[in-house]
Structures are given as structure tokens and as C-alpha cells.
Amino acid sequence: MAWRSEILDWLKKLTVIPGPSGREEGVREVVASLIEPFVDKLWIDTWGNLVGLKKGSSGEGKLMIAAHIDEIGLFVSHIEDDGFLRVVPIGGIPERTLLYQRVVLRTRDGRLVRGVIGLKPPHIAKPEELQKIPEMRELFVDIGASSREEVEKAGVRVGDVLVFDRDVAELMNNRVAGKAFDDRVGVVSLIKAAQLLEEPKVDTYFVATVQEEVGLKGARTSAFAISPDAAVAIDVTIASDIPGVAKAEWFTRLGKGPAIKIVDGRSASGLIAHPRIVEFLISIAEKYKVPYQLEVAAGGTTDASIIALNKEGVPAGTISIPSRYIHSPVEVVDLNDVYNTALLAKYFAEEATPEWLREIKGRVLK
């Protein structure tokens, strides 16, 4: 597994950087440095998405492959007189994952300030308080300061951002744990796919999108600018192969390969993947012997759902990387799944032809 050390190195570089929605610039800078050798053109668009283009040999047709660089986090909303910080969420960050976690805050001038998330001690809590998950308003961040003045002297202001403070930990069986794997593992697969892709027939746009966790905003604007003929998003999905979950609810499992999404969200905001994209991904996986799973997801969605609605519509789908404990500081993935996702995305771009893109975009009946 010659690829393992490179993928692990990229993942460590990308996850250590605080980059919640709207504050992705540090992550984007590193992604740009990693993907630059593998694309013909590279730019940052108006909204902050990073776009790399690998030109196709045919001179016609456009394919978009997207993965988001933002992570969940917190905004500082108030500074108490005694130096504690109050916070509000950025994206879907559940209160149950926050309690007593270490966090790192990035000030507007780039300084890093570490702290912990605190709560009233259980010894003085009311019995009914101990029986429930604390609400966001009950939590606070302790950076060690004793006054508002000390906080401000450290450069901390209202509007600064915090994320979980965790390194990547290597587990058994080629599995790793850490924060922001949603979707930095997808970004790693995106970069690896660009590295592996040699001679695409159609122009292939590798897009590291911003603000996915707060409404798929970067995917919306980048898709409008690119106007792709077809697209896939690379993102994580629920690996529910854990105790307490019935096997009938094991939507995907670690180590069994990327999941080709059939549907997600179960609502108007979700995606029913384009059948021709699904069929194409399955045929490619079987042709090149890339292990894969089929996914009918319980909830959530990806950049693909908004790319699919661009202009007159875009045939779109998702390649999912199974991940346990999503939106927590200890997300767990299998590095084999990360690599095989890159392979599947690479083959998808290699096999796409202008003729196939024209065919799936509709036809005149009369």
C-alpha cells in the first residue's frame, strides 16, 4: 500500500487546520498546494471555492467532481465579564458531542487560542438536569482567562471561530480517528483522484467547495459558474455497523469500499441520484474491480443535491466514504475506503466521453 503514507499525511495536514464554514481559507491554501501539480489551471472563485481544471483531450464536455473543505464549528457570540465565552453553532454540531471537549479558537489576526467546553459540575446540578443533554445556552468555553480584558488581550472577539482540538489517531486495521473527516477525507480522495487521472476525454473540474455544512452554498455558486454536463460529490456517509444498531439499519460498513448513493435525505432537500450516474459508477467499479456498496441513506445530503438543480439541471450522484460518529471529534474511517473512493472518481473521469454526456442530458423526441 504505497499510497497509504501519502493519504495519511494529507489527512493530518488538512484536519489540523481550523476551517469551519465561512472561515475555510487556511484549509484552502493547503489544498491548493497539494492539488496544484495535478491540474492544468487552478483558481479561487468569488465565493471562495478552489477550482482545479484538468483539460480533456476531446475539447468538449465538462465533468465536475466536488468535495467540501468546511467543517462544523462554533462562533463566539458573547464574552462574559469573568472571561468565559458563550458560543453558537456553525452547521449541525450536536450538543451531546460538545461537553468537556477541547477546542481551538482562531482569532481574526490568525492566533490560535485553546480552551475547553464546560458545564455546571454534576455535584451541584439538579437531578432533572443530570437526565438531559445540556442545551447550547448552558455551555461555555473556558480559555483560562479571568476577565473580559484578558480575553480581549489574547485577541479574542465576538465572531471568532472554534473547532474541536484533535489530532488524527491511527487505530487497528488501517482505520483512523479524528475531527473534520467530514469532509476532509473526501478532499483527500479528490486530490488523489486528480493525481491518478492521466488523460481525461472531457474537461474535469476538481472543486473544493466552501460552506457545505450551512446550506451547500459553495457548490451552488461553483456549479453555476462551471455549468457541468454531469457531476459527482465526494462526501462521508453514515457507517452504522456498530453495537446497538440492527443489521437491517447498517446503511454502509467500514472497509467495504465507497458507497454509490441511490438516495439521501428523505425530503425535498435530499437527492435521488440520477439513475444513469448510478449505473455508470456501478459498471466502472465492476470493470476495474473497485469494491463498492450501494447506499440508501437515512438522512443528510451532499453538494450533489444542489449541483443537480443548477440551471436546467445536471445529472449528478455521490460517492460516499463510510464514516462512524459523523459530526463528532472522533470520526472513524478506513483508509482503504478513502483510496478506493479516489480510484472510483478517477475511473469515472477517465471513462466519461462527450457522447455519453450528451446522451444523459436528454434527447429530442420530435
Instruction: Give the residue-averaged pLDDT of 168-182.
Output: 97
pLDDT for 129: 59
Asked if residue 174 belongs to a domain, the reply is: no
- Whether 332 maps to a domain, the answer reads yes
Judge whether 171 lies within some domain.
no
296-319 mean pLDDT = 92
Q: Output the pLDDT for position 356.
A: 96
| Domain-embedded: residue 345 | yes
CATH of the domain at 15: 3.40.630.10
pLDDT, position 153: 94
> What order do you get walking across the sheet with 41-44 strand by strand?
41-44, 50-54, 203-209, 62-68, 230-238, 316-323, 259-263, 293-296
Does 94 or 337 have the greater pLDDT score?
337
Domain boundary among 132, 164, 196: 164
Specify if 366 maps to a domain.
no
Alpha helices in 91-180 (DSSP H): 127-130, 148-153
**Which pLDDT tens digit goes with each residue over 233-267?**
999 999 988 898 877 777 799 999 999 999 987 66
Confidence of residue 124 (pLDDT cuts 50, 70, 90): low
Whether residue 233 is found in the same domain as residue 196: yes
* 157, 303: one domain: no
Across residues 105-110, what is the average pLDDT? 91
- Which pLDDT tens digit goes with each residue over 20-33? 999 999 999 999 99
- Tell me, yes or no, whether 169 lies in a domain: no
Its pTM stands at 0.94
In a domain, 132, yes or no: yes
| pLDDT computed for residue 122 by the predictor | 62
4-18: pLDDT as tens digits? 999 999 999 999 999
Query: 82 and 67, same structural domain?
Result: no
* Same-domain pairing of 297 and 339: yes
According to DSSP, the residues that pair with 137 across neighbouring strands are none
- If pLDDT is split at 50, 70 and 90, which confidence band does 277 have? very high
- Where is the domain boundary, 136, 164, 192? 164
pLDDT at residue 125, rounded to an integer: 59
Instruction: Give the residue from 164, 188, 213 where a domain finishes.
Output: 164
Say if residue 90's pLDDT is above 80. yes
Pair 13, 67 in one domain: yes
Q: Within this chain, do residues 341 and 199 fall inside the same structural domain, yes or no?
A: yes
Co-location of 309 and 186 in the same domain? yes
* Mean per-residue pLDDT, 290-314: 92
pLDDT band, very low/low/confident/very high, at 178 (cuts 50, 70, 90): very high
Annotated catalytic sites, by residue?
212
**Phi, psi for 344 (deg, rounded to 5):** -65, -40
60 and 80 in a common domain = no
In this model, does residue 289 exceed pLDDT 70?
yes
Whether the pLDDT of residue 326 is over 70: the answer is: yes
| Class of residue 8 by CB neighbours under 10 A (exposed 0-12, middle 13-18, buried 19+) | middle
How confident is residue 57, by pLDDT bands cut at 50, 70 and 90? very high
- pLDDT of 126: 64
**Closest C-alpha to 315, from 68, 69, 62, 67:** 62
Question: What local confidence, expressed as pLDDT, does residue 136 receive?
Answer: 87
* 136-175 burial code (b ≥16 CB/10 A, e <16): eeebbbebebeeeeebeebbbeeebbbbbbbebeeeeebb
In the numeric block, the cell 455508470 is attached to: 280
- Do 81 and 145 belong together in one domain? yes
Pair 218, 276 in one domain: yes
Residue 365: the pLDDT is: 84
C-alpha cell at 179: 475531527
Nearest partner of 294 among 279, 308, 309, 305, judged by Cα: 279
Nearest of 348, 342, 240 to residue 297 by alpha carbon: 240
Q: Are residues 66 and 78 in the same domain?
A: no
Overall domain count for the chain: 2
Q: Is residue 123's pLDDT more than 70?
A: no
Q: What is the mean pLDDT of residues 116-127?
A: 74
Q: Could you give the strand order of the β-sheet that contains 331-334, starting from the edge strand earlier in sequence?
A: 169-170, 175-178, 331-334
Distance CA 193, CA 215 (A): 25
Longest CA–CA separation in the chain, Å: 76
Q: What does the pLDDT read at residue 2?
A: 85
Predicted pLDDT at 329: 95
Q: Is a pLDDT exceeding 80 seen at residue 132?
A: no
Confidence at residue 170, expressed as pLDDT on a 0 to 100 scale: 97
Note the residue count of the chain.
Answer: 366
Closest CA to 236 of 318, 346, 343: 318
Full residue range of the structural domain in which residue 79 is found:
73-164
CATH number of 78's domain: 2.40.30.40
Residue 218 maps to a domain? yes
Domain shared by 135 and 192, yes or no? no
